[in-house]
Structure 1
Amino acid sequence: MASAEEGVRRGGETPLRRRGPALEQAILQAAAEELRESGYAGMTMDKVARRAATNKNTIYRRWPHRAALGVAAYRHLAEARIAVPDTGTLRGDALALLRQANATWSSPQGAVLRELLAAAGDDPRLLGLLREQAGGSAMDTAWLTLLSRAVARGEAPPEAVHPRVASLPVTLLRGEYTLRGTPSVSDTALTEIVDEVFLPLVRGRAPSPSRRDRTSRW
């Protein structure tokens, strides 16, 4: 008899022998497809199990509730598409990466994220998971990479390589969508985020008092 870890084909056919990462990827892909087709509100563990040709117990062992699976599925959907630009300048890189993020937010994939954010207002667990994801996402890593390159080129001080600095452009972009309710953000607004907020912040970063040589005060 096949174990629950192996999955079951539709129609009672021979069990799919998948374990570990292969099975997890199949479940995440099935959940991502459900998010695209039905949205978070329509995504159920039963539907995901049928699509992944496995059973609910197998899913629950990895993701204890629907919110956890929904966030994991969105991350699976989103992070595979991030490409870190390398234009040779921090401004060029920042605009290219922010435009990439904007294209995602204005796409059907972005609609999924906007629905997750809306649902989070009534689901504390979902809100907590989304906050955790925002703090360690591949997009934040991409922005930290841009900042590190800028430091190496002499365009920015080392203190600019900071998680809060890295997260600022996408946080402002998210605000355009969630607070203004707009279906897309103009390139003019993206340029303003980079030129009027992000770059001045990066160039103005300096060591905090706790990191300076305190003897310089005396």
Structure 2
Amino acid sequence: MSTRPTIGRGPKVQAAVHAATVAELAATGYAALTVEAVATRAGVHKTTVYRRWADRDSLVADALAAHVAADVPIPDTGTAEGDLRALARALAAWLSGPTGTAVVTTMVAEGVRVPAIAELKRDFFAGRLERAAVVVTRAVERGELPAGTRPDAVVKAMMAPLYLRALITAEPVGDEAADQAARTALGAARAGVL
């Protein structure tokens, strides 16, 4: 005898389906993700999913948007080095996990094909850069970095090696890589290169 899903309606269903979609992305990847598997994982019938989302692309785009909308805490350790290291370690931890890898891989790969995911990718990275740039702005105000330092360039210099390791070279993305990325970006900023 099969059990009938009984999760209810409204925001609970949406949250369950979003979480199930991200979990399926992490478990199987975008190409193998099915609405049926998401529905099963969420504890709802597939028609419930199809009533809210017309197809897999819109389901994934909506689930990713909900997932990446979560606020990322911006550190305030009192030093540029501490703040950049904390940012880099948080990014490395996220990229090292199955969810972070699945989310970024999907945004990069499917953003080429699915306009809603392309827009999400642009907004995601722009938002993360803008929020993280605050640590560099504070460092300039404290006199730790030269006037004229471009906060977005420093943050990009810190993030780029971590994304490269996670998405291209498949090297480990841990604290050591994060610390090196932060030191390199900070050194370039202190030298006036950024």
Distance 1:151 1:66, change over 3 A: farther
Deviation at 1:42, TM superposition (A): 2.7
The letter for the 1-side match of 2:171 is T
Deviation sequence 1:53-102 (CA, Å, 0-9, x none): 32313123xxxx53454354345445547332221101111011101111
Q: Please, which moves more after superposition, 30-39 or 65-74?
A: 65-74
The letter for the 1-side match of 2:140 is V
Q: Which residue of 2 aligns with 1:59?
A: 53
Task: Give the alignment's Cα RMSD to 1 decimal.
Answer: 3.5
Q: Summarize the alignment of residues 4-153 of structure 1 with structure 2, pairs less than 5 Å apart.
A: 11=4, 16-18=8-10, 24-50=14-40, 51=42, 53=44, 54-60=48-54, 65-74=55-64, 76-77=66-67, 80=70, 82-113=72-103, 115-116=105-106, 119-120=109-110, 124-125=113-114, 128-129=118-119, 131-137=121-127, 139-153=128-142
Distance 1:151 1:72, change over 3 A: farther
TM-score (norm 1): 0.65
What secondary structure is seen at the aligned counterpart in 1 of 2:37?
Answer: helix
Q: Does 1:200 align with 2:185?
A: no
Q: Paired residues, what number?
A: 187
1:34·1:43 contact (CA, 8 Å) conserved in 2?
Answer: yes
The letter for the 2-side match of 1:85 is P
Cα distance in 1 for partners of 2:13, 2:101 equals 27
Cα distance in 1 for partners of 2:56, 2:84 equals 34
Between the two structures, name the one with larger relative contact order (CA 8 Å, sep ≥ 6). 2
Cα distance in 1 for partners of 2:5, 2:81 equals 56
Deviation at 1:169, TM superposition (A): 1.5
The letter for the 2-side match of 1:176 is R
Cα distance in 1 for partners of 2:73, 2:5 equals 41
Distance 1:41 1:186, change over 3 A: same
The letter for the 2-side match of 1:109 is T
Q: Which runs of 5+ in 1 are unaligned?
A: 1-9, 207-218
Q: Which runs of 5+ in 2 are unaligned?
A: none
1:34·1:47 contact (CA, 8 Å) conserved in 2?
Answer: yes
Distance 1:105 1:161, change over 3 A: same
Distance 1:167 1:24, change over 3 A: farther
State the structure with more CA Rg.
1
